[in-house]
Amino acid sequence: MGSLSSSAFGPVKPSSFAVLLVLLLSCSSFSSTEAYDALDPTGNITIKWDIMSWTPDGYVAVVTMYNFQQYRHIQAPGWTLGWTWAKKEVIWSMMGAQTTEQGDCSKFKGNIPHCCKKDPTVVDLLPGTPYNQQIANCCKGGVINSWVQDPANAASSFQVSVGAAGTTNKTVRVPKNFTLKAPGPGYTCGPAKIVRPSKFVTADKRRVTQALMTWNVTCTYSQFLAQKTPTCCVSLSSFYNDTIVNCPTCTCGCQNNITDPGSCVDPESPYLASAVTGQGKSSNTPLVQCTSHMCPIRVHWHVKLNYKEYWRVKVTITNFNYRMNYTQWNLVVQHPNFDNLTQIFSFYYKSLTPYEGLNDTAMLWGVKFYNDFLSQAGPFGNVQSELLFRKDKSTFSFEKGWAFPRRIYFNGDNCVMPPPDAYPWLPNAGSRPVTSLVFPAFTILASLVFLLPFA
Ligand SMILES: *[C@@H]1O[C@H](CO)[C@@H](O)[C@H](O)[C@H]1NC(C)=O
Ligand SMILES: *[C@@H]1O[C@H](CO)[C@@H](O)[C@H](O)[C@H]1NC(C)=O
Ligand SMILES: *[C@@H]1O[C@H](CO)[C@@H](O)[C@H](O)[C@H]1NC(C)=O
Ligand SMILES: *[C@@H]1O[C@H](CO)[C@@H](O)[C@H](O)[C@H]1NC(C)=O
Ligand SMILES: *[C@@H]1O[C@H](CO)[C@@H](O)[C@H](O)[C@H]1NC(C)=O
Ligand SMILES: *[C@@H]1O[C@H](CO)[C@@H](O)[C@H](O)[C@H]1NC(C)=O
Ligand SMILES: *[C@@H]1O[C@H](CO)[C@@H](O)[C@H](O)[C@H]1NC(C)=O
Ligand SMILES: *[C@@H]1O[C@H](CO)[C@@H](O)[C@H](O)[C@H]1NC(C)=O
Ligand SMILES: *[C@@H]1O[C@H](CO)[C@@H](O)[C@H](O)[C@H]1NC(C)=O
């Protein structure tokens, strides 16, 4: 971690250096159970529980999950929500979701509840659910996009009819111990808090109605709790050095044909098709192409061109997983020059500014129906874009890896970078003092677009 200091990256603005320190500190605080993401400090998923009507023995509520995270979304196979009832409540019926188990309803005669468990587990219904079992914002297979990328699909709702519950706002008890899986661990949910009842505006905007009672639960994500092995790595190259710095070997696993021959597949292998379709399809374990890093996702950052006032980067995301199409993928990239991003081709861009006045982190994602779909491993399993940055003379440099990103997330998961000492060097610049590159002279010479500035 110490090697990520300013000397590893050359000139760094004092302000960004301070923040880099903050980020490093918060990185190490992942080792506590604290749920905090330095790049999205207020990110959370809020579960809102609106009681819409009382029934003879309980109430009907609409439960909505809002994804207030900038870039972390919930992908297939989707969310799982659980809680513990405070009393002896049962679920008579649900719309737009279902519990995974009914539990023991043996004491009921006649009408049998949908679920009698004290700690029900709820999952979303799949797309294509009959209309009479749907409500608004349901039935997306548990997928919730981020509000930055796709605000129209950043919420997920279901309706629940609860029995053996209180029937007034004095006697009803809020459920306890909410758990959210997405689908693995990572989220921690706080207690339900009774809040001001939600208000709803009718479609014609001429009338406002309100819930009879509302409570909110806030869930936050922690990389530490998720305890994922890496799923993504970064490789680097540049126009000024032929070396391609590959992802670190064994980033996401090691290729081992002897003890685990099925751990990866060769694209040339005759078994590929059967391996992908055979046992696979339903299973969510990745089936990756054999590589030295064994990661399902690789992000390649190529420093492509140097102009007088600008420089250009090509970013390529490659999918090595034969069992996963990523819909609505996103990248978060930190580089000090994002404050002067001039143009980005074929990706969307939003500046994430978790610290006021610092603008070095960007969220990038694909254009709908063009490249927001990252296909499974194979000839179409990649997306790419080019970024054009305007040089800020006081900070810009090709030395000491400055042109490479400080960190990258793919779908919210950290991508492992090569060690800084492996970054491509400027020819002859490796061990020389900083003063050896005379920038003014070289910018005057370079009044035209040039490709080989140091020849
Ligand atoms: C959850 O996120 C929303 C939107 O960013 C924010 O307004 C709210 O304060 C957050 N809640 C908590 C408890 O952090
Ligand atoms: C319950 O309803 C009464 C009026 O009907 C209201 O004054 C009170 O604030 C409500 N309590 C809660 C917790 O919503
Ligand atoms: C809620 O979880 C806490 C800690 O896991 C546990 O001590 C408590 O008994 C649980 N409460 C209920 C009602 O299950
Ligand atoms: C409860 O959640 C809703 C929906 O996210 C939000 O609009 C509301 O402000 C929240 N209330 C409180 C008190 O946090
Ligand atoms: C595993 O197989 C690949 C090709 O299928 C080969 O390149 C590699 O050397 C093998 N590794 C071991 C440890 O045998
Ligand atoms: C990915 O999408 C393609 C095209 O829609 C489809 O043929 C393929 O089966 C999908 N693969 C997976 C693993 O879902
Ligand atoms: C961050 O930089 C981008 C690109 O130069 C610019 O469009 C945006 O307005 C900046 N945002 C802030 C908050 O400075
Ligand atoms: C780069 O962005 C910063 C902050 O947005 C601004 O102060 C500076 O003038 C910009 N530099 C250039 C060369 O555009
Ligand atoms: C290119 O960078 C590598 C470090 O990744 C370095 O070993 C090599 O000497 C550099 N090549 C030239 C021509 O400077």
Q: Give the residue extent of every domain in the chain.
A: 45-221, 230-445
For residue 241 and ligand 9, the question of a CB distance below 6 A is answered with: yes
Query: Which residue has the CA at smallest separation from atom 8 of ligand 9?
Result: 425
Task: Please name the residues in contact with 237: beta carbons below 8 A apart, sequence gap of 6 or more.
Answer: 243, 244, 245, 300, 301, 302, 303, 424
Cα three-residue angle 300-306-309, rounded to 5 degrees = 125
Mean pLDDT by 10 residues, the chain (455 residues): 35 38 36 61 95 97 97 93 97 97 95 97 95 93 94 96 96 97 92 97 94 97 84 95 94 80 78 63 74 95 94 96 92 93 92 81 93 92 95 88 94 93 77 37 33 32
Which is the closest atom of ligand 8 to the Cα of 393?
13
- Rounded distance from Cα 168 to ligand 2 centre (Å): 9
Q: Is the CB of 246 under 6 A from ligand 1?
A: no
State the distance from the centre of ligand 6 to the C-alpha of 447, rounded, in angstroms: 48
What is the domain class of 230-445 according to CATH?
mainly beta
Q: What is the pLDDT of residue 438?
A: 36
Residue 289 and residue 264 in contact, taking contact as beta carbons nearer than 8 Å? yes
* Å from CA of 169 to ligand 2 middle: 6
The reported pLDDT for the residue numbered 426 is: 83
Q: What is the pLDDT of residue 259?
A: 67
Using CB atoms within 10 Å of the CB of residue 182, give its burial: 0 to 12 exposed, 13 to 18 middle, 19+ buried: buried
pLDDT of residue 183: 85
- At residue 409, the pLDDT reads 95
Closest CA to 306 of 429, 422, 426: 426
Ligand 1 center from residue 332 Cα (angstroms): 20
Is the fold of 45-221 the same as that of 230-445?
yes
Amino acid identity of 297? Answer: I
Tokens coding 387: 């970024």
- Looking at the chain, how many residues does it have? 455
Residues 343 and 388 sit within 8 Å (Cβ to Cβ) = yes
Residues 6+ away with beta carbon under 8 Å from 356? none
**Which residues surround ligand 5 with Cβ inside 6 Å?**
255, 257, 266, 290
SS3 107: coil
From 367, 164, 329, 349, select the one nearest 231 (Cα to Cα): 329
Coil, strand or helix: which one is 29? helix
Task: Determine whether the shortest distance from the Cβ of 309 to ligand 8 is under 6 A.
Answer: no
Token reading at 11: 């000139």
CB 143 within 8 A of CB 74: yes
May I ask the CATH class of domain 45-221?
mainly beta
How many Å lie between the centroid of ligand 1 and the Cα of residue 69? 9
The reported pLDDT for the residue numbered 14 is 37
Burial of 382 (0-12, 13-18, 19+ CB in 10 A): middle
Contact 113, 105 (CB under 8 A): yes
State the CB neighbour count (10 A cutoff) for residue 434: 12
Token pair belonging to 312: 């250009």
